[in-house]
Every structure is written in structure tokens, then in C-alpha cells.
Amino acid sequence: MARLIQPNIKDSMKTISVVISGRGSNLEALLNAVQAGHLKARVARVIANRADAGGLAIAAQHGVPTTVIESKKYQDRAAFDAALAMALDADQPDLIVLAGFMRILGESIVKQFNHRMINIHPALLPSYPGVDTHQRALADGVKWHGCTVHFVTPKVDVGPIIGQSVVPVREGDTEAILAARVLKAEHRLLVDCVRWFCEERLVIKDDKVLLRNAETSFDAYQNPVG
Ligand code: GRF
């Protein structure tokens, strides 16, 4: 049986919390999409695990409340996760977006927000989980690279894949050039995947994500960008 992942949501406007560690360009793509009316959602809060995360200023510019929970001040993963879970819970988000959040979360918090937490990863999973994805792709000489948005599960960079975007790897690419090409694709993919979630079009069946009414979006992702 297909299972709807958002069975209890009454309000049509979804509430989103975004968790970041750094620059915040994916966050900015989401906030711009909300502002432009392309994403019918409310970003309730941005939480960063680093006080110097550039995305905090981007959130403030958009009038979104921010909270810093500095991971380095917590003695272990469980203590940090508990603080993060409490902060997230306060806004009762329908969806939590990990947008450049560079920490591994423990099983307890992941299970607490099961099917409500998504992550963007700069590679075509299951290839290149973890860090240094662009460097590893270049070293392997792959011809295609890209990014993935997936539901978060206790195993890192594993979890039902919502969407992927493919970019070419070109001769002469450096890590920085390839990262910039992938990042452009990330911004588009993340907005689309969040929109699909908000439109209640995602169904998880046998640990795979089905996209309802997929014609146009599916077609869009047959065409590599960049
Ligand atoms: C992105 O490439 C994301 O996929 C990775 O870290 C980067 C974060 O970029 N996990 P930004 O903070 O969204 O600009």
C-alpha cells in the first residue's frame, strides 16, 4: 500500500524549518522562491550549528527568525541533537530542510522527524556519499555528476531519493568550477523538491519516493542543466 507521508496536515500552507552550517545559498534559493510566490510555504526559523554561518544574515534579511545552537559547545552528539530537536519542535514544522548542514544526526532525532526531514547532497547518490564529492568525482573521471535531495534516515546520505539533477563534467573542470555548476542545479532541485512536499505530491512506497502528477517535473529532470 502506498503511504502518504503527510497524513495529518490540516493547513494548506506548510511550515518549514531550515538547518544550516555555512554560506546558506540553498537557504537563499528557498527564501527567494517563497518571496516570489513559487513556494507556498512559511519558513518559520533558520537554525545554524555555527555562529559564523553566513546563512544567518540571509535569514535576517528575509525577516526569518534565527537560532544558533553551537555544536562545538555540546559534549556529545546526543546532547546537541536533543537541543536541536527541542528548538525544531517549538515551531512544529511540517518539513525540516537540512541545507548545507554539515553534521551527522543520531538515530533518535532522525526517527523523531521521520518523513519530515530532507537533505540536499552534492552528488548523485548512492555515488559519492560523505564529503569532498566534487574532488572524488573529478579523480574518478566520471562524465556526469550532480545532486540529490532525499529523506533523512539514520544512515548517512542514504534515504528515499526525492529528486536528482545531473550536470556534465567538462574537460578542464576544477573542483571549484564543478562545485559551482552543481550548486546551480542544487538551488533549482531543492526548491522543486520542497514544493513537491508542500503540494503533498510525495508518496513513499517500499522505501522509494513516488511523485504524483509528475509529467512536467519528470520531463524537466531528463534535461541536464549547466
Ligand atoms: C551545498 O553544496 C550542499 O549540498 C552541501 O554543502 C553546500 C552548502 O552550500 N552539503 P550552501 O550553504 O547552501 O551555500
Cell of 129: 556519499
**What pLDDT, on the 0 to 100 scale, is given for residue 221?**
56
SS3 of 151, please?
strand
Check pocket membership of 25 for ligand 1, CB cut-off 6 A: yes
Task: Calculate how far, in angstroms, residue 26's C-alpha sits from the geometric centre of ligand 1.
Answer: 6
Single-letter amino acid code for the residue at 117? M
Query: Which atom of ligand 1 has the smallest separation from the CA of 122?
Result: 4
The pTM of the full predicted model, rounded to 2 decimals, is 0.91
Report residues of the chain scoring pLDDT below 70: 1-11, 215-226
Q: Which fold has domain 14-113?
A: Rossmann fold (3.40.50)
14-113 and 120-226: identical CATH topology: yes
Across the chain, what does the average pLDDT equal? Answer: 92
Q: Take residue 125 and report the three cell numbers written for it.
A: 547518490
> Any idea where the domains of the chain sit in the sequence?
14-113, 120-226
The Cα 191–Cα 47 span in angstroms is 18
Counting from 1 in the atom list of ligand 1, the atom nearest the Cα of 102 is 10
Query: Of 183, 184, 193, which is best to mutate to test ligand 1, by the most ligand atoms within 8 angstroms of its C-beta?
Result: 183
Strand arrangement of the beta sheet that strand 202-205 belongs to: 3-4, 202-205, 208-211
Secondary-structure percent of the chain, ordered helix, strand, coil, rounded to 5: 35, 25, 40
**What pLDDT score does 12 carry?**
80
Q: What is the pLDDT of residue 215?
A: 61
Q: Which CATH number fits domain 120-226: 3.30.43.10, 1.10.1740.10, 3.60.21.10, 3.40.50.170?
A: 3.40.50.170
| Helix (H), strand (E), coil (C) string for 54-114 | CHHHHHHHCCCCEEECCHHHCCCHHHHHHHHHHHHHHCCCCEEEECCCCCCCCHHHHHHCC
* Cα 15 to averaged position of ligand 1 atoms, centre (Å): 22
**pLDDT at residue 33 in the model:** 98
The pLDDT of residue 5 is 52
> H or E stretch including 124?
none
Mind listing the pLDDT tens digit for each residue in 77-134?
Answer: 999 999 999 999 999 999 999 999 999 999 999 999 999 999 999 999 999 999 999 9
Check residue 213 and give its pLDDT. Answer: 82
Atom 9 of ligand 1: nearest residue by CA position: 100
Predicted confidence at residue 206, as pLDDT, reads: 93
Active site residue 121: yes
- 125 Cβ inside 6 Å of ligand 1: no
**How many angstroms does the Cα of residue 10 sit away from the middle of ligand 1?**
32
